[in-house]
Chain A
Amino acid sequence: MKPAVLTGEYFMTGDVACAEGAMAAGCLFFGGYPITPATEIAEHMSGRLPDVGGTYIQMEDEIAAIASVLGASWAGVKSMTATSGPGFSLMMENLGLGICTETPCVIVNVQRGGPSTGLPTMGAQSDMMQARWGSHGDYEIIVMSPSSCQEIFYQTITAFNLSEAYRIPVVIMTDEIIGHMSEKVIIPRAKEIQTVSRVKPKGKKENFKPFKPGPNGVAPMPAAGEGYNVHVTGLTHDEKGYPAMAVEAQEEMMKRLIGKVRNNLDDIIKTEGYLLEDAEIVIVSYGVSARTSFAAVGEARAMGIKAGLLRLITIWPFPEEQIKELAEKVKGFITVEINLGQIHREVQRCVGYRTPAYLVGHHGGTVITPDQVLSVLKEAF
């Protein structure tokens, strides 16, 4: 056996840093399927996982990949998969099963340009709404986005921790640019890494209710083979896990699935502010585009424009309250993202008519430059 945490200083790609973060979080199962630009995560896991006591399998498609991940999770193992646009589309069906059956797992989408096969080797951020609403039905989900190779290492650990704490699939929305670029990554000592594992049930096994929420809205989760004889279904079910085809049962289940996220927003949502204290113009951005925005803020300040950056680390649930609060005191917003306004519309929704909100978007394939942000900034305000 080799250590899961490779303490040290490295120069590694975002994809490899994500894989190392997963193992540091305790991931022991990866169900993969090759797809550019996420393949390197699967490749790295296939080599490393067996050495730390885990299992890698390359499935026959992305549908099977995520199905195997859900199965492994019910065997009690932290599990994940990684993909890009077309594969992410195929995963939507079983992402819904994961939500409905409250199955912890982590899904990484290394975004590339779309629609369809799009730009396999070139970055974009255009699956952000798919990450929120891609599976059918109403639901809540946790989605995060990293801005550097170092951050994706830690964010993958956080993603596992949240998924275990809330029994929910967590999606990391990175992009080809972060995935394929190499940066310095520091991996700390194992004991400095905080990991969370799902709460196991205690007490009598008979008539155990695997979907009966505890005080924080989350039910303890046994694993298959532990004697609880759980039944798990994607049908609307009661707390015992039994199908319940009734309006009341639907309401109760939906309240449970949604409540565990909506009632814990303070614990889940993470953002980072830069020069927001006196900012008159707030740039909202995430992932690789937050780096562009960071540079743009610096240049704007040098020109005497009071700009600040709100970097979204958690994308969904959306940091609504924070944007509403800012909207009370600033002159306007600019959202910077490599798509045609997916998060921009969310910002607009939160800002309402309080202040103007602009978009610096992009059709996909490359990063947005600070100059593009600055020209909108100068023109608009």
Chain B
Amino acid sequence: MAKKNKKAELQPAHPLDDLIRTDRIPHIWCQGCGIGTVFSACLIGMKHSGLELNKFAMVSGIGCSGRAAGYVNVDSFHTTHGRAIPFATGLKLANTDLNVIVFSGDGDLFAIGGNHFIHAARRNMDLTVICVNNLTYGMTGGQVAATTPHMARSTTTPSGNPENPFNLPLLAFASGATYVARWTMLHARDLAESIQVALLKKGFSFIEVLSPCPINYGRRNKEKALDTLNMYQEKTIIKNGADPSELDIDFDKGVILGKFIDVDKPTHIENYDKIYRTRE
């Protein structure tokens, strides 16, 4: 946790300040953590979308990434562990004018919240889901997650992870998401553009963002913060339209980034309105 910085208060306002609850800074994220970069890419995407800022709402679950809702200066909801998506579903259905962003972590969205994710994608619920994937449960100190690579060490897999991780874009695609992309936090500009596109696109959009947790993942896997960033730069390949089944995360082979799915399907709300609101 950073100390309050007197000097920072004297510095000129940052161009994203209007989207940040500056009265809540300093944030809780560790030095070298990638979440802040993903968060600011999200704010840039929101700004550049040209959409009315008052009509944005952000919903988060629990975890380090889930704290994003506490820093964004729009209506923001920090819900229970795994339940950001169904909360966001109710919010959106009850006011279809809102642009609802779900910003949360891999543990929250894909372990405890996995069921909600696949169903929201299946329904093509009009949500933009941003998943900060740091391969672990950061907030609780670095336990194995549904995204932790095979044989990686964590506090609950001290001799290596016996399980295999999800391929998140494949899961999103198979569940019916109409926009699926993956970036790393190092690709901040691509990421911000991708978020902007996803926000403007109707239907269920999903963006996975690889992001380092040097404190609770890197430390146990002989990866310094800078090592992770180097891997993000050197061991990634941008391949738009790649087959989702090729998207397993293996830095030895190279990790594929890009926009994989961008299709149009009627959203849940469009279907519901058509079937239920036009009948006699």
How far is it, in angstroms, between the C-alpha of A243 and the C-alpha of B23 when the chains are bound?
12
In the complex, which range does the number of interface residues on chain A fall in?
Answer: 35 or more
- In the complex formed, the residue of B with least CB distance to A207 is B23
- Kindly identify which residue among A55, A74, A229 contacts B74, using a CB–CB cutoff of 8 Å: A229
Q: CB of B83 within 8 A of chain A?
A: yes
Which of B53-61, B150-158, B165-173 makes up part of the contact surface? B53-61
With A77-B95, A97-B80, A224-B98 as given contacts, are A31 and B90 in contact (CB-CB < 8 Å)? yes
Report B35-61 residues with CB < 8 Å from chain A CB.
54-55, 57, 59
User: With an 8 A cutoff between CB atoms, is B70 at the interface?
Assistant: yes
Among the interface residues A223, A227, A232, which one has the most CB atoms of the partner chain B within 10 A?
A232
Contacts of B91 in A (CB 8 A): 71-72, 74-75, 224
Interfacial residues of chain A within 20-71, with CB under 8 A of chain B in the complex: 28-29, 31, 50, 55, 57, 59-61, 63-65, 67-71
Q: A346 — which chain B residues lie within 8 A by C-beta? A: none
Given A60-B116, A64-B119, also A75-B80 (CB < 8 A): no
Does B94 contact A229, Cβ atoms closer than 8 Å?
no
B89 touches A (CB below 8 Å): yes
What residue in chain A is nearest B59 (Cβ atoms)?
A: A71
Q: Interface of chain A, helix or strand or loop or mixed?
A: mixed
A229 to B56, CA, bound (A): 9
- The answer to whether A68 and B98 have CB atoms under 8 Å apart is no
A75:B98 contact, CB within 8 angstroms: yes
Given known pairs A59-B119, A224-B57, the reply for A75 and B79 (CB within 8 Å) is no
Residues in chain B near residue A75, CB distance under 8 A = 90-95, 98
Give, as a whole number of angstroms, the nearest-CB distance from B128 to chain A: 15
| Contacts across chains A and B counted by CB atoms under 8 Å | 142
- A229–B19 alpha-carbon span in the complex (Å): 10
Binary interface profile of A, 64-106, with partner B (CB < 8 Å = 1, else 0)? 1101111111111101000000000000011011000000000
Docked-complex contact B95 and A76, CB < 8 angstroms:
yes
Which residues of B (250-280) have their CB < 8 Å from a CB of A?
A: 272, 276-277, 279
Is B86 an interface residue when CB atoms closer than 8 A count as contact? Answer: yes
> A64, B98: Cβ atoms under 8 Å?
no
The answer to whether the Cβ of B77 comes within 8 Å of any Cβ in the partner chain is: yes
CA A242 to CA B23, docked complex, whole Å: 10
In the assembled complex, which residues on chain B have CB atoms less than 8 Å from the CB atom of A76? 94-95
- A230-B76, A231-B21, A232-B76 in contact; A224/B86 too (CB < 8 A)? no
Q: Is the CB of B70 within 8 A of A63?
A: no
**How distant is the Cα of A223 from the Cα of B79 in the complex, in angstroms?**
16
Q: Contact check, B94 vs A67: say whether CB atoms are below 8 A apart.
A: no
Interface pair A232/B77, CB less than 8 Å apart: yes
CA distance A63 to B84 in the complex (A): 11
Closest Cβ neighbor of A46 among chain B residues: B276
Residues on A with beta carbons closer than 8 Å to the beta carbon of B86: 31, 59-60, 63-65, 67-68, 71
A-B contact pairs, 23 of them (CB 8 A): A29-B90, A50-B277, A55-B272, A59-B86, A59-B89, A60-B115, A60-B116, A64-B85, A64-B89, A65-B86, A67-B86, A67-B116, A72-B93, A73-B94, A75-B93, A75-B98, A224-B75, A224-B91, A224-B98, A229-B74, A229-B76, A242-B23, A242-B70
Chain A positions within 8 Å of B, measured between CB atoms, are 28-29, 31, 50, 55, 57, 59-61, 63-65, 67-77, 79, 93-94, 96-97, 223-235, 242-243
Please give 10 more A-B residue pairs, beta carbons under 8 A apart, in addition to A31-B86, A74-B75, A233-B70. Answer: A50-B272, A67-B86, A71-B77, A71-B88, A71-B94, A225-B75, A225-B95, A231-B78, A233-B69, A235-B78
